[in-house]
Amino acid sequence: MLTLTAGRYAARQDQSSADIRAAQSLRHRCFRGRDGLDADRFDDGCWHLLVEDRATGALVACCRVQSFENGARIDDSYAAQFYDLSALAHYDAPMVEIGRFCISSEARDKSDILRLAWAMLTQQVEAEGVGMLFGCSSFPGTDATRYREVFAFLRAHHLSPGTWRPRIKTPDAIRFAPGSGRAPDARQALRVMPPLLRSYLAMGGWVSDHAVVDHDLNTLHVFTGLEVFAVPPARLRLLRALSAHAVC
């Protein structure tokens, strides 16, 4: 079993049904705030990335990963339930959807956990020649007024290229509005922004021009894409260095 280690944490791929149940349990606590199993039809088509505390063995973070040969089957993705992704159907390189990413509220060093997860994903990206990573970045709750500043910031600085831009598919869509006659406050926006989305943007990622209300998870989510060529060289070197710390 290939494992990446960094400090107190280790990242690995699921090896058993018990691993998947552990991920589903953590997802349920993170997204629904109580014990249970968060499971759906997409789990069977994915592998699950697990980050564990090396001292205790506790699962502190997870996500699921689904591979696509290109954009031809983009409608089979989780995100396609909420977004019209027809523009991405013409993408002609391998793609990866990252879903249900979550970090335990009790975990320490969340930035270290996030970097380790990205390093694990970097191995797959380079092994499979992946050209784009995508998924839904979730904001807690469904009150869009809480996120007016961050949505204006995303609209001003991080909209997807027109070539790939997702279109509205559901009536529960909330278009990003411009700021109220001033530039959006970047510091305030970054404070409110989910850590996963911040890391996507730091690597050159982009977002849709609207959010979608997810009543099932009680979140607002934003389609997020990252083309691998856009990752800054310094960030890529760091992830490669972390991914070199693999043990079997």
121-148, pLDDT tens digit by residue?
998 899 999 999 999 999 999 999 999 9
* pLDDT at residue 246, as a whole number: 57
pLDDT of residue 245: 63
Per-residue pLDDT at 140: 95
For residue 98, the model assigns a pLDDT of 98
Q: What is the mean predicted confidence (pLDDT) over 102-125?
A: 91
State yes or no: pLDDT of 167 exceeds 80: yes
**pLDDT mean across residues, the chain:** 93
Cα separation, 81 vs 85, whole angstroms: 9
Rg (CA), the chain: 17
Tokens found for residue 151: 């949505």
Nearest to 51 by CA among 41, 37, 61, 43: 61
Question: How far is the C-alpha of 64 from the C-alpha of 228, rounded, in Å?
Answer: 19
Q: What is the pLDDT of residue 154?
A: 96
Q: What is the pLDDT of residues 40-81, one digit of tens each?
A: 999 999 999 999 999 999 999 999 999 999 999 999 999 999
**In the predicted structure, residue 203 carries a pLDDT above the cut 60:** yes
- Cβ neighbours of residue 54 under 8 Å, at least 6 residues apart? 5, 8, 9, 10
* Domains parsed from the chain with CATH numbers: 3-247 (3.40.630.30)
Per residue in 205-241, pLDDT tens? Answer: 999 999 999 999 999 999 999 999 999 999 888 888 8
Global pTM? Answer: 0.94
Least confident of 98-102, 175-179, 188-192: 175-179
